[in-house]
Amino acid sequence: MAHNPTMKDVAREAGVALRTVSRFVNGETNIKPELADRIAQAISTLGYRRNLAAASIRPGWTSKTLGLIISDLANPYYSALTSAIESYARERGYVVISSSSDEIGAQHDRLVDRLMEKRVDALIVVPPRDPGRDWALVPPPIPPLVFLDRPANFDGADVIIADNTGGARDATSEHISHGARRIAFVGDSLSIFTMRERHAGYLSALSDAGIIPDDDLIVNSAHTSEDAANAVMELLKASKVDAIFAANNRGSVGALLAFKQAGRRVPLIGFDDFEAAQLSTPETSIVRQDVVEMGRKAAEIVFDRLAGNSSPPQTYVLPATLVLRGSELP
Partner DNA sequence: TTGTAAGCGTTATCAT
Partner DNA sequence: ATGATAACGCTTACAA
261 HSE (CA, 13 A, CB side): 16
Question: Residue 95 binds which one of DNA, a second copy, none, with CB within 5 to 8 A depending on kind?
Answer: a second copy
Position 213 contacts a second copy (CB under 8 A):
no
Residues 6+ apart with CB under 8 A from 242: 175, 179, 180, 181, 182, 183, 266, 267
The verdict on 230 binding a second copy (CB under 8 A) reads no
Does the protein bind DNA through residue 63 (CB under 7 A)?
no
- Give bridge partners of residue 196 from the DSSP assignment: none
Q: Answer yes or no whether residue 222 interacts with DNA by CB under 7 A.
A: no
CA 76 – CA 247 distance, rounded (Å): 16
**Phi first, then psi: what are they for 151, rounded to 5°?**
-85, 170
The answer to the question of residue 99 lying near a second copy (CB under 8 A) is yes
The answer to whether residues 248 and 220 touch, using CB atoms and an 8 Å cutoff, is: no
Q: Return the number of the residue (57 or 74) whose C-beta is nearest DNA.
A: 57
Q: Does 324 bind DNA (CB under 7 A)?
A: no
At 106, give phi and psi (nearest 5°): -60, -40
- By beta-carbon proximity to a second copy, the closer residue of 206 and 255 is 255
Binding track over 277-306 against a second copy, x by CB under 8 A = -xxxx-------------------------
- Binding partner of residue 306 among DNA, a second copy, none, CB under 5 to 8 Å per kind? none
How far the first Cα of the chain sits from its last, in Å, is 68
CB-nearer residue toward a second copy: 3 or 210: 3
Please pick, from the candidates 9, 12, 105, 119, the single residue that binds a second copy as defined by CB under 8 A. 119
Span interacting with DNA, options 5-13, 89-97, 130-138, 146-154, rule CB under 7 A: 5-13
Residue 65 found at the interface with a second copy (CB under 8 A): yes
Radius of gyration of the chain (CA): 26
Q: Is 315 in the site for a second copy (CB under 8 A)?
A: no
Cα separation, 294 vs 307, whole angstroms: 20
Give the number of other CB atoms < 10 A from CB of residue 27. Answer: 6
Q: Cβ contacts of residue 125 below 8 Å, gap of 6+? A: 68, 69, 108, 112, 145, 146, 147, 148, 152
Beta bridge partners, 69, equal 99, 125
Tell me the window of 47-55, 70-78, 79-87, 284-292 that interacts with DNA (CB under 7 A).
47-55
Work out whether 50 is an interface residue with DNA (CB under 7 A).
yes
Mask for 142-181, x = binds a second copy (CB under 8 A): xx--------------------------------------
Q: Which residues bind a second copy (CB under 8 A)?
A: 1-4, 44, 46-54, 56-57, 63, 65, 72-74, 76, 79-80, 82-84, 86-87, 90, 95-100, 111, 113-119, 139-143, 253, 256-257, 260, 274-276, 278-281
